[in-house]
Structure 1
């Protein structure tokens, strides 16, 4: 499936599409921010709001007053001594922490044609257009699982305030075998690759499918020595010997699919056995349920992608890729369709088994896979997690407090508490009553900046127009000409 050599090549393409730096073309995005009047005020006050703090106790605070100052939550239900620059009416609304997607692949500048020294990227787009997809969906932190130097640039643009976007955590991907990218085929090379990643500023290590067993173990051990947590695939070399993969500091498995690959019959017994292994080793799970659902849909037809309401916000080159060069659809056969359907069902049962075993589960989407639209996909994932057996509160925790904890950001984000950064979502309905209500967004605080529903709508409309006006300029089959 996604761990095939074809997928590796495909992933490299979609990960490296077009969005970094404050280029001339991006100046219009910055201008749009000013036109849409999105200032960073000194003090915001939210009045009469219902707070779902997402702390472990998670006691709802009704009709509360929240003061935000210098990008942080200054007070909750305390006396207001400062004059607000902006007052937000929270009557009948619900305040929750900003959402976190723990598995994304963000677009970045790319050169698709023959290279030469000094050439650089040849395909560019507007960073704000891409990051808007997250903010429009209340996703205020993302975990990039195949990070490159261009992603550091994106993050800096956001931090400088030139682009409104999420916080971005960066994982350095290491694979084995005869592939491109960061490759390690011996334990010593694996350790050195980790040390290089640490020196370059990457914060986490992602393991991929082609690693051999001893190199895998060396990478995990070295990452722990360097203070870097590890997430990733269970390498193919461990098939038939899964227990050997669960070594100390293998911190999180990146897909439910990594377990279904290890099962011959996709049985409940296997699901419970996998859960026990993970629990005993302290290994968390990011199921990415929505990805396999989308793959299953595309093995039958592309109508789901073609009719996707959020497709109009996706860059035209990726629209072309998903609709005209979709290998899930082009390489399908009845046996493959049946196998993927069985995996979709097994993944739901796997999540239930992991929940019952007490394994922490965090929400991630593998955003960037065809049909899995950045930002929008996280709401799909939350609904699937509830379908799999999580309560609405557990699903919300999987996209707020728990990922913040795993990312070592629990003192900064993930809950609505005094002293934490104002990464917040104002909802029109209670998500504890229905997880679908996470989609009913009245506005978002991204690093202390308030973006209302009206402004989000205006920016999305502008993005849709840009995509439509430029659609004929992008054809995935002709990408080498760019």
Structure 2
């Protein structure tokens, strides 16, 4: 059960009547369709026929149905005992599934034993990692290999590098490849992204982070790498002792709120050096390499924006903060104050890097680099669960991506990314009944993705009025993380 989301009252069989079906795979529109679902699956998609008496009918004339949205970078289960508010915001924004980007053995055990909380309307957990690779469990190549083996044994879907050196990262990647488990995450500052791609890395998050990827597109690459190599890892212990895991969790949580608050003058210089020596030809060569090796990118532009504009009113005074748990807002506000105390030159370098991130995202998209949409919500200052994915859509559009590409990044591309191509991400018989009904055509304008008339999750239907009521209940008792 959920204190925010009331069960759907529509029954087991629902028909969306006279809708235009959007297929993100080929970008087609098929008007005048009836989409019938039963027992959590789409049973038929046919030309609109006569009224029916054996199903709840949702009149959809003039509206557009798309697959439910997937957030491919999220941390909802960092607080598995308290996900109700977060999941409610996700449902209200059409987010029906996610990739959990941090975990531990307890989370993997709960997932295996099917004891994870599942409040009404909860999104599907599509994939999860175990413990992040950090100096605590991966200070050496040998330690990293051991950690990869343990996570593979415990049932992790992928390995995520959180804070490592280049040598440790590549040792872990080699072992992950040997075991057949994907590995992605944060590229170390001393690692060439081309080496990671050739080594078979699955995904790169946050366009790096830092300037790791941007150095490869610089005409002064060696200088940028030298400057960025001075970047220090978080102060995470390298040896285990009683309580070490709890300490590391606390340290990581403190840094994760906004890592940009730790930006040094040397790092700021690396940003300016990389951005001022950008070489489009090298960027396109890097993009071609990522295409060749199917190196996925999850840009999380909303996350990097909230970091680099950490004290901006658009984030610190966002009216949607009213949905967040009070303790989250206190952490966000502390982070904003810390960010505001950075030297003007450092904040200027961070703000200036935004244009480079948009340009790189556009370059990757134009080259056909595989990309998925993610928000990095749940722990990241300024990123509101559910809403954050819609902010990502807008930033992708700001980068110059067209509406179809953006829609694919949250529907069909996640299916391909997760190995579910042909089994999810489309509106077709046999597919999961996870759908979003829109008031406007999302192929004309990405902002149409915000105009949700209703959401179907696992065959249950919530109208716009239902979704608004959910948001009001969360606002009345803020509980999102």
Give yes or no for TM over 0.5.
yes
Residue of structure 1 aligned with 2:190, choices 237, 246, 263:
237
Give the 3 Å change call, closer, same or farther, for CA 85–328 of structure 1 in structure 2.
farther
- Report the alpha carbon displacement of residue 302 of structure 1 after superposing the two structures with TM: 4.9
- TM-score, structure 2 length as denominator? 0.79
Within 5 Å, give how 1:320-339 maps onto structure 2: 320-326=330-336, 329-339=339-349
Is 1:63 the counterpart of 2:21 in the alignment?
no
Secondary structure at the aligned position of 1:413 is classed as coil
Aligned to 2:248: none
- Report the alpha carbon displacement of residue 297 of structure 1 after superposing the two structures with TM: 2.3
Aligned to 1:479: none
Is 1:228 the counterpart of 2:186 in the alignment?
no
Give the 3 Å change call, closer, same or farther, for CA 95–422 of structure 1 in structure 2.
same
Residue of structure 2 aligned with 1:358, choices 349, 368, 371:
368
- Report the alpha carbon displacement of residue 327 of structure 1 after superposing the two structures with TM: 6.1
Q: Is the 8 A contact 1:305 1:322 kept in 2?
A: no
Is 1:247 the counterpart of 2:216 in the alignment?
no
Q: Is the 8 A contact 1:54 1:416 kept in 2?
A: no
Residue of structure 2 aligned with 1:392, choices 398, 403, 407:
403
Moved more, 348-357 or 254-263: 254-263
Is 1:167 the counterpart of 2:177 in the alignment?
no
Moved more, 228-237 or 302-311: 302-311
Q: Is the 8 A contact 1:292 1:340 kept in 2?
A: no
- Report the alpha carbon displacement of residue 161 of structure 1 after superposing the two structures with TM: 5.5
Is 1:90 the counterpart of 2:60 in the alignment?
yes
Residue of structure 2 aligned with 1:284, choices 289, 296, 313:
296
Give the Cα–Cα distance (whole angstroms) in 1 for the partners of residues 210 and 170 of structure 2.
18
Give the 3 Å change call, closer, same or farther, for CA 452–458 of structure 1 in structure 2.
same
Give the Cα–Cα distance (whole angstroms) in 2 for the partners of residues 59 and 87 of structure 1.
24
Give the Cα–Cα distance (whole angstroms) in 1 for the partners of residues 57 and 109 of structure 2.
34
Secondary structure at the aligned position of 1:246 is classed as helix
- Report the alpha carbon displacement of residue 441 of structure 1 after superposing the two structures with TM: 0.6
Q: Deviations over 1:94-113 (max 9, x none)?
A: 10011111111225449xxx
Give the 3 Å change call, closer, same or farther, for CA 424–348 of structure 1 in structure 2.
same
Secondary structure at the aligned position of 1:250 is classed as coil
Give the Cα–Cα distance (whole angstroms) in 1 for the partners of residues 111 and 145 of structure 2.
28
- Report the alpha carbon displacement of residue 345 of structure 1 after superposing the two structures with TM: 0.5
Give the 3 Å change call, closer, same or farther, for CA 399–158 of structure 1 in structure 2.
farther
- Report the alpha carbon displacement of residue 383 of structure 1 after superposing the two structures with TM: 1.5
Within 5 Å, give how 1:26-425 maps onto structure 2: 29=2, 33=5, 36-39=6-9, 41-55=11-25, 57-77=26-46, 84-106=54-76, 108-109=78-79, 125=82, 127-148=83-104, 149-150=106-107, 153=110, 162-168=119-125, 169-177=127-135, 179=136, 183-213=137-167, 215-238=168-191, 241-258=192-209, 260-261=211-212, 262-263=214-215, 264=224, 265-266=274-275, 267-269=278-280, 270-298=282-310, 301-326=311-336, 329-368=339-378, 369-425=380-436
Aligned to 1:120: none
Give the Cα–Cα distance (whole angstroms) in 1 for the partners of residues 401 and 34 of structure 2.
30
Give the 3 Å change call, closer, same or farther, for CA 198–163 of structure 1 in structure 2.
farther
Give the 3 Å change call, closer, same or farther, for CA 38–328 of structure 1 in structure 2.
farther
Q: Deviations over 1:259-288 (max 9, x none)?
A: 634523221434334323322322111111
Q: Is the 8 A contact 1:268 1:350 kept in 2?
A: no
Equivalent pairs counted in the alignment come to 416
- Report the alpha carbon displacement of residue 189 of structure 1 after superposing the two structures with TM: 2.7
Is 1:461 the counterpart of 2:414 in the alignment?
no
Moved more, 245-254 or 310-319: 245-254
RMSD: 2.8
Secondary structure at the aligned position of 1:379 is classed as helix
Q: Is the 8 A contact 1:305 1:323 kept in 2?
A: no
Which of the pair has the greater relative contact order for Cα pairs under 8 Å at 6+ separation? 2
Q: Is the 8 A contact 2:138 2:164 kept in 1?
A: no
Give the 3 Å change call, closer, same or farther, for CA 349–99 of structure 1 in structure 2.
same
- Report the alpha carbon displacement of residue 422 of structure 1 after superposing the two structures with TM: 0.8
Q: Deviations over 1:45-82 (max 9, x none)?
A: 11100110212x23211010111011111111068998
Give the Cα–Cα distance (whole angstroms) in 1 for the partners of residues 30 and 377 of structure 2.
33
Q: Is the 8 A contact 1:49 1:64 kept in 2?
A: yes
Residue of structure 2 aligned with 1:435, choices 440, 446, 464:
446
